[in-house]
Structure formats: C-alpha cells, structure tokens
Amino acid sequence: MSPKVVEIRTSTALGSGIVYDSQGDVVTNAHVVGNSTNVTIRLADGSRHPASVVGTSPGDDLAIVRLTGAAPSPATFADSSRLQVGDLALAIGNPLGLASSVSNGIVSSTGRDIPEGNGVMLKGAIQTSAAINPGNSGGALVNLSDQVIGIPTLAAVDPQMGNSAAPGIGFAIPSNTVRRVADRLIAGH
C-alpha cells in the first residue's frame, strides 16, 4: 500500500493522501489542503509533482487534488460497512514528515459521530487504536488485504491532560464515505 500513499505539502501544512484513480486524483482531508489551490505531492519514489485542488467538502473533511505529470496506480477501497470491532488495521502516512510510516492497531468501534472542530461533525467515523499523529491526516487506514478501510483524520485529545493526544484513540473517515464524496467532487469539476 505504501506506494499508493503520498505526502502532501502546502505553504502551511503537511499531510498525506491516497491515490484515488488512474487520472492522478488523490483523496485527502480538507483540513490538509485548507485554502490552498496548489500543493506539492511527493510520491513513494521520492519524486515531487505539482497538484491542483479539484474540490473540497469541508463538512466531510475530504478533498481531491490532481497530480500533474504522474498517474501512479490507485489504491483499492474496501466496503467499510463490513468492518467489525477487533479487525486489524494499519495506519499509513507521513507523520511528522516521516515518509511511509506505519502504525498498527484494531478497529475499536464503528459509527462514531465525532466533533472535529470548526463546526465539523464526522459522521459514522471509525475509531482505531492505530496511532494517528500530525501528518497522518489524509493517509490510509488499511486492512490486512491491503485495502483502504478509511482515511485517518483525527486523534482524540484528553482535556484533563492539557489537550494532549489520548493514546490509542484515533478516528478515520470510512471508505464508503470517502468514495461517495470523492466521486461527487471529481464529477463536479
């Protein structure tokens, strides 16, 4: 899966993305691209490519960016409605800029409605014990069949610990939601 997970840089943010289709579209979190219209994508082979933002859905915290000059093979997306608590999960991304990092865990819960901030409520989120660190946002939460089951987007914080990250509690947007929103954003371009 690592070759299908890319690093996304804007002038103010660092995150991850997943190659969505053979046209060079990459799906990521809307909060990764923010208000940027152009971003730089680094592929797993280290090459850097310009990309433009095709569309964003801030309410779903999803965005599509399109690569210029490359069309790597896309990831395979699983049916997230089939997830069960206890399923093994791997989070793949670029936490703190460390390319193609992987953390492991399980699906701890499904169907969580989680406030993300800025008025955004993530509906039906996957809770996972796989570590979600800064830079993992927009990357891939995958099953052991190398299929995307979700997009990591948020680590829980503990208000009693000064809002530091609560270990072992992260959230991902389910793959079925990702596909529905990504297809809509691409079709609207």
| 137 a catalytic residue | yes
Handedness of CA 37, 40, 41, 47 (dihedral sign): positive
Cβ–Cβ < 8 Å for 1, 17: no
Choosing from 36, 61, 80, 108, which is the catalytic residue? Answer: 61
Q: What's the rounded Cα separation, in Å, for the pair 78 and 109?
A: 17
Cβ–Cβ < 8 Å for 59, 120: yes
Q: What's the rounded Cα separation, in Å, for the pair 171 and 88?
A: 14
Tokens of 47: 């090459």
Choosing from 16, 101, 108, 137, which is the catalytic residue? Answer: 137
Helix (H, G, I), strand (E, B) or coil at 143: coil
Choosing from 16, 25, 31, 175, which is the catalytic residue? Answer: 31
∠ CA 142-28-111 to the nearest 5 degrees?
Answer: 55
Give me the active site residues, please: 31, 61, 137
